Amino acid sequence: MPLLVLAIIVLVVWKLAARGEQFLPGFVPLLTEPRIQRGPFSFFSGRSYAVGKFQGREVAVRLQLKRGKYAQGYLVVAIRTGGPPALDYTGIDARTRDDAGRRALVSLAAHDLLISVEEGWLKALWRPQGFMIFPGRFSEEKWRQVLAAMHAVATSLEAAG
């Protein structure tokens, strides 16, 4: 009986971990020249990366799966921009003046993403709250919209100088 209980626990943990491990392989087809980067201990740390390009811009993705009792999973999608090297949301909002950029900001907010610019990268942080299995099922439509919106914001920031 104890072996059966242990087997059930291992199966449940594996199923939950496997779902998170499938997110990046679903994401990379949205990119050109994609690569997934995982270290030898990625399963234990829950951290993995993907890099590539979207519409000619460099993209870097960091996925941090929940691995501890008090830890929280998150996803950061970053697109290289030639605009200002650092901005918080207020700065991004002030500099994004064209219609495409404004619509893109609304789209990113609708996806519950927190955006900033750090070291020349436009970053979108997704850290869902509440009861959900993170990151959940990959949605190609959602993440393609996010990448397109980030591209529009990056273009707008570059145009604003």
CATH number at residue 73: 3.30.1460
Domain limits for position 39: 2-160
Q: What is the predicted pLDDT for the residue at 18?
A: 47
Neighbours of 69 (CB within 10 A): 5
Q: How confident is the model at residue 58 (pLDDT cuts 50, 70, 90)?
A: very high
By C-alpha distance, which of 136, 91, 96, 84 is closest to 112? 136
Q: Which pLDDT does position 138 carry in this prediction? A: 84
- The pLDDT score that the predictor gives to residue 137 is 80
Strand partners, 103: none
3-class SS at 12? helix
pTM over 0.85: no
Start-to-end CA span in the chain (Å): 67
- The CA dihedral of 14, 139, 41, 115, to the nearest 10 degrees, is -140
Q: How confident is the model at residue 12 (pLDDT cuts 50, 70, 90)?
A: low
How many domains does the chain divide into? 1
